[in-house]
Amino acid sequence: MGQILAWILEYGYLAMFGLLALGVAGMPIPDEVLMIAFGGLVSQGHYNFIAALAVTFSGSMTGMMLSYTLGRLLGKPLLHRYGKWVRLTPSRIASSENWFGRYGTWGILFGYFVPGLRHVSSYLAGTTRLSVFRYMMYASAGALLWCGTFLGIGHAVGMHWEQVAKLMEKVTHRIGLAVILLIILGGIVAWFWNKRKKNVT
């Protein structure tokens, strides 16, 4: 994080754009922590909020479009073969595929808020040949909501953004794992419920 902050302070919006694009595409960069840090720097007068929102939105959409394009061109085999290098373990991929199969475009919209899911939902959208227009509509709405939320948190806490960022770094993956487990549990319960209804009828 110290090195990341040094890059942001030295290269400003350009560094934020590049880091966020790589992070959303799947590289090991703490995206939420990065957003909160940037929001904190905005609150201290280093950057403009509207410009920061535009840059972070552009960076996240660049990462999402990169993943979508790779998924469309190369398909799932690449994801299973090299996913481990960008934090996409087989269990995360399976959970994300289950989510995407059930909720599709809604997974793109809200997947931003679940670590792991946002890294693979765009790729899966590409492999399933979701139309570019439909994909961009949901992806851009999710990006705007996600960027606005975490920039807003960083801006709101102001001088305390470092403490909040450290806390987020600790709990983000736990929250993401909990959400994915709840989704799987919900799918299992729904499956048993439907099976029971069929047996009754």
Q: What is the 3-state secondary structure (H, E, C) of 181-194?
A: HHHHHHHHHHHHHH
Q: 22-74, pLDDT tens digit by residue? A: 888 777 777 877 888 888 888 888 889 999 999 999 999 999 999 888 888 87
Q: Give CA–CA dist 123/90, Å, rounded.
A: 14
127 against 181, higher pLDDT:
127
Mean of pLDDT values over 97-101 = 66
Query: Could you give the percent of the chain with pLDDT greater than 90?
Result: 11
Convert 138-154 to b/e letters by CB count within 10 Å (16 or more is b): bbbebbbebbbbbbbbb
Per-residue pLDDT band for 200 (boundaries 50, 70, 90) equals low
pLDDT of residue 197: 66
Instruction: Compute the mean pLDDT over every residue in the chain, rounded to the nearest whole number.
Output: 75
| Position 83 pLDDT exceeds 60 | no
Burial category of 124 from C-beta neighbours within 10 Å (exposed 0-12, middle 13-18, buried 19 and up): buried
Query: Could you give the percent of the chain with pLDDT greater than 70?
Result: 60
pLDDT of residue 52: 93
Q: Specify the pTM.
A: 0.69
Mean of pLDDT values over 128-141 = 86
Task: Report in angstroms the alpha-carbon separations of 42 from 6, 19, 29, 60, 96.
Answer: 15, 17, 20, 18, 33
Indicate the SS3 state at residue 52.
helix
92 against 151, higher pLDDT:
151
Question: ∠ CA 25-26-30 to the nearest 5 degrees?
Answer: 110
Find the DSSP H helices in 76-131: 76-82, 90-103, 105-110, 117-127
The string of DSSP codes covering 21-49 is HHHHHT-S--HHHHHHHHHHHHHTTSS-H
Q: Give CA–CA dist 71/127, Å, rounded.
A: 5
Contacts of 146 (CB under 8 A, 6+ apart): 35, 60, 112, 113, 118
Mean of pLDDT values over 159-163 = 60
Nearest to residue 116, comparing CAs of 164, 57, 52, 184? 184
